[in-house]
Amino acid sequence: MKTNKLKILIVTGIYPPRIGGPAQYAKETREEFVRMGNSVKVLTFRTERYLPTGLRHFWFFIKVLFNLNNADFILALDTFSVGFPAVLAGKIFRNKVIIRTGGDFLWEGYVERTGDLVLFRNFYKTRVDKLNLKEKIIFKLTRWILRNSSAVIFSTKWQKGIFMPAYDLYTEKCHIVENFYGEKLPSFPSPKKDFVAAARPLKWKNADKLKAAFEKAKVVDPDIELDLKGAPYEEFLKKIQNCYAVVVASIGDISPNMILDAIRCNKPFILTKENGITERVRDFALFIDPENIDDIAEKLLYLTGEKNYENLKAKIQAFNFGHSWKEICHEILDIYQKIK
């Protein structure tokens, strides 16, 4: 698609060297948009991350106002933290705002506050009446944000199917741009049976059940190891290239980047069944029930079997679907053209 040079403002809560999906997404889309000849500026949290909710949003809103500079559109990489200031600024100055949802700020916050490990797909059906005042305000503001944005991008049909009825969204406003599926990378055999499962210390990541499952599995196979240590992205990618396998056991993971990187490295993996990429990976994924410690332990032991391991590895090696950053940026620009 050929377009005139555009002025694009990307807003994100995190940006490298900070670690996380939105940080990598912001970096890669910025670089690709620039390669396409566009003018791109990235705004991210700095001092704002130390401010309380409300004040943080107000301060970032001011920053957005001072950096709009006739931007053709704003690309906001979450629904609330930067999405709210971006949509508010866009409404005032009539800028187009495209929101790309990542996780779910409300669900994650509720789980962290209460310790109630409600599955993401069940949250809006069963827990909205249990939200505290702050969460009720976030819920209403998120509805306003999504409904008043120019377009909403989801990375999976799964999340779109959860959000649309929960927030009463218009079908024509909602789009799907799948996550990055990159070219295959070199992969190296691990001298040990180490499972990479690095995760932020958040309750919805389900680390306690995963650790309990590992303890059960180690009774049968003492050689297995669990690696929960994070690292900057490039270093973490090398860790995946050299590990035995990858495991994601969260109670809801929309488009887990760690699994997509495992695929690039041809590493077998264990994945929560509560995810948004099942359609892509069902032929070679080993799915687990994140609420069932015995099931997790059983799948860990299954993957330690040499024949099982090699069978899954061969299937992953045969997987050749790709979705580049260039394709992602073209799809975002296609959406922009439709909302002009």
187 within some domain:
no
User: For the chain, how many structural domains are there in total?
Assistant: 2
Tell me the pLDDT tens digit for each residue of 5-51: 999 999 999 888 787 788 899 999 999 999 999 999 999 998 888 88
- Average pLDDT, whole number, for the chain? 94
What are the tokens at 311? Answer: 């069978």
Considering the domain architecture, whether residues 286 and 331 belong to the same structural domain is answered as: no
Residue 322's pLDDT is 95
253 within some domain:
yes
Q: Is 87 exposed, middle or buried (0-12, 13-18, 19+ CB in 10 A)?
A: buried
Tell me the pLDDT tens digit for each residue of 168-210: 999 999 999 999 999 999 999 999 999 999 767 899 999 999 9
CATH classification at residue 220 = 3.40.50.2000
Prediction pTM value: 0.92
50 within some domain:
yes
Residue 3, pLDDT > 60, answer no
What are the tokens at 163? Answer: 């959000």
- For 71, the domain range is 7-180+323-339
Residue 218, pLDDT > 70, answer yes
188 within some domain:
no
20 within some domain:
yes
Residue 21's pLDDT is 81
Tell me the pLDDT tens digit for each residue of 45-96: 988 888 888 899 899 999 999 999 889 999 999 999 999 999 999 999 999 9
Considering the domain architecture, whether residues 32 and 176 belong to the same structural domain is answered as: yes
Please compute the mean of the pLDDT values over residues 92-115 and round it to a whole number.
95
What are the tokens at 98? Answer: 């495209």
Considering the domain architecture, whether residues 208 and 141 belong to the same structural domain is answered as: no
Tell me the pLDDT tens digit for each residue of 140-159: 999 999 999 999 999 999 99
String of b and e for 137-150 (b: at least 16 CB within 10 Å)?
ebbebbbebbeebb
Considering the domain architecture, whether residues 305 and 327 belong to the same structural domain is answered as: no
Residue 1's pLDDT is 46
Residue 233, pLDDT > 90, answer no
* pLDDT tier, 280 (very low <50, low <70, confident <90, very high otherwise): very high
233 within some domain:
yes
Tell me the pLDDT tens digit for each residue of 246-269: 999 999 999 999 999 999 999 999
Considering the domain architecture, whether residues 224 and 81 belong to the same structural domain is answered as: no
Share of the chain above pLDDT 70, in %: 99
Considering the domain architecture, whether residues 164 and 308 belong to the same structural domain is answered as: no
| 221: number of Cβ within 10 Å | 12
Please compute the mean of the pLDDT values over residues 327-337 and round it to a whole number.
97
